[in-house]
Amino acid sequence: MVFIVFIIIAVLYFAFKSGSSGSSHSNSNSGNPTRDNDSGNSNRTSPCNNGSHSPSASSSSTSRATSYGRKQTVSSHPATSSQTSLEANINVFPFSSPDQKFMALVLKMGEKYHLVSSDSRQIVAEVNGHNVVFRYSDHSYMVDGSYVPSITQAMQMYGPNIYSNVPVDVLARAAARGTAMHNAIERYEAFGISNYSPELEGYKRLKSAYGLTPIGMEAIVVISDELGKPLCAGRLDFLLFTGRPNSLAIMDLKRTSTYHVGNVATQLNLYKKGFEQCFGITIDKLVCLRLRDYVAEYHNVCIGDEMAEHILGCLSRDSGYLGRVAQAY
């Protein structure tokens, strides 16, 4: 839903600003296994430099300018129904005048992603010609009338599952905290609402330090086989504008006690596969932020993952009964 709002507002804002002169631009896991967060073997290592960083205290008070964004104005008050206007939501986009390359990407995504309906129970959307129903109660996906596994479920089915021995009550508490963190950051990006939490403050520091420019949230993606048959689906946390033509970055938020390199690489590479299939836009960067209490880490994630390819192969092989498994999961 927020992803669709992002696209609609961008298009309307571009039309509104097209007559104006251009102005200068500037600029971790939730622990929730039901949000397509990490699952798998925490001992796996990445073949490339992880690129993990934690900004110093000095960076928390600095806004690093780039050529394509500016710091947002943040309100400390909750949004009201009247704040759904274009003017109230303009801070969804951290720029003062979108450039043509950015708008071309937004319009291209809008051609492949259409929101049919959305309420507190479910989201119904047309994604690259697929009818997708996402249900909040059990985080299930129905694509073209058949249940398919979520990306998290696929990882748990065909890869190591670090949650298998964790008590249910512990998972439930972690899920609640992770969801709260995601919601706080999404409200901040969508409406400028800034209710204090250490994770939100950590997110702001990393966003400023690394010039992160979110342009969409919670986009649904579908991964299909070579014949176009849906294999699995998921919702990615954030899309980032990279400043390069016809390319974007995917960013994931984690609130786990440990950063699991292999799990994150598998998950984000599956998101990359689904997004590129659905939208025809290259993902040339994968990023993960680990935010937990007062810890705020930035991680570059390797593109290319053997486990992700293994999972896709298993999904293609077993697609005959996976719908029944997903429905009963």
Report pLDDT for 133.
97
| Helix, strand, coil fractions of the chain, as percent rounded to 5 | 40, 25, 35
* Separation of alpha carbons 313 and 307, rounded Å: 10
Nearest residue to 217 (alpha-carbon basis) of 303, 113, 305, 100: 113
Give the pLDDT confidence of 99-149 residue by residue, as tens digits: 555 677 777 888 898 888 888 899 999 999 999 999 999 899 999 999 999
CB proximity list for 171: less than 8 A, separation 6 or greater:
33, 163
pLDDT digits (tens, 9 = 90+) for 34-54: 444 433 344 444 445 555 666
Band the pLDDT of 328: cuts 50, 70, 90. low
Distance CA 279, CA 257 (A): 33
Residue 34: HSE in the Cβ half-sphere, 13 Å Cα cutoff: 18
What predicted TM-score, i.e. pTM, was given to this entire model? Answer: 0.73
Residue 247: predicted pLDDT: 84
For residues 2 and 273, the model is more confident at 273
Distance CA 35, CA 236 (A): 9
Could you report the per-residue pLDDT of 274-292, keeping only the tens digit for each?
999 999 999 999 999 999 9
